[in-house]
Structure 1
């Protein structure tokens, strides 16, 4: 058991409180930004929920690192073109300006969004979340 367990419990409590406040203020409607609801986590039948506490179950995966990337576009070019690239070269992508950017987690599309700049740093505002059923369909096709 690690020594930072109290801080993890504190974080879980903060999330639970924030989710509860959101549910109260929005009245169940999803007019605002999408927020992950840890209390909606379900355990499949026969999964053996040892703790009986959904917050403990979600804590088990909170520290798993994942690769989050935003894809601006793609292109295919021959190797001889890659070898000719120099500073100032332009590589044309298949995406149009203003088109939604893909947000990938471990290579799987989870959302789309638009690029924003906040305090001279790039970010992405999520505009569309891929539903879990859509994600499963995409995974099964590959």
Structure 2
């Protein structure tokens, strides 16, 4: 989309021109009001979402602030296995321990021992990380507990 008044073809200017044109065409001809200036809405949107979520849960922002610094233990679990003490004592450098997880299977992410997500291992700047691929909802957690 190129405009004769915008020879550089800058996409942001194209969007601004289209918005101004739409505003001008929808405004009455007698009112010559300036086009509204677009303000960044990200802070307003996120604030509204946080307020809505807090109100729905019956939690005020001050209540939430009380627990923001509480430490939790995050564990990424690739798999598990059971071995005897005899086998454990025979382990040395280079030993291989077979786990019940399959290659390519997502690893479990636990918070304080409770499964909250599944993900995959990634390497970022020579450090390992976890890309979360599936978040476990509270209802799914309750179903898993009921099956156990």
Q: Output the TM-score relative to the length of structure 2.
A: 0.62
In structure 2, distance between residues paired with 1:19 and 1:84: 58
Mapped contact 1:39–1:55 kept (Cα < 8 A): no
Counterpart of 2:91 in structure 1 is 85
Q: Which has the higher contact order (CA 8 A, sep 6+)?
A: 1
Say which one has the larger Rg.
Answer: 2
Establish whether residue 97 from structure 1 lines up as the match of residue 100 from structure 2: no
In structure 2, distance between residues paired with 1:130 and 1:111: 5
Counterpart of 1:8 in structure 2 is none
Counterparts of residues 86-125 of structure 1 (less than 5 Å): 86-125=92-131
Counterpart of 2:43 in structure 1 is 17
Alpha-carbon shift at residue 133 of structure 1 (Å) = 1.0
Counterpart of 1:40 in structure 2 is 53
Matched length: 105
Counterpart of 2:73 in structure 1 is 67
Which one has a larger percent helix, Structure 1 or Structure 2? 2
In structure 1, distance between residues paired with 2:45 and 2:81: 41
Change (3 A) 1:117 1:86: same
Q: Aligned-residue CA RMSD in angstroms?
A: 2.6
Structure 1 residues without counterparts, runs of 5 or longer: 1-15, 24-36, 44-48
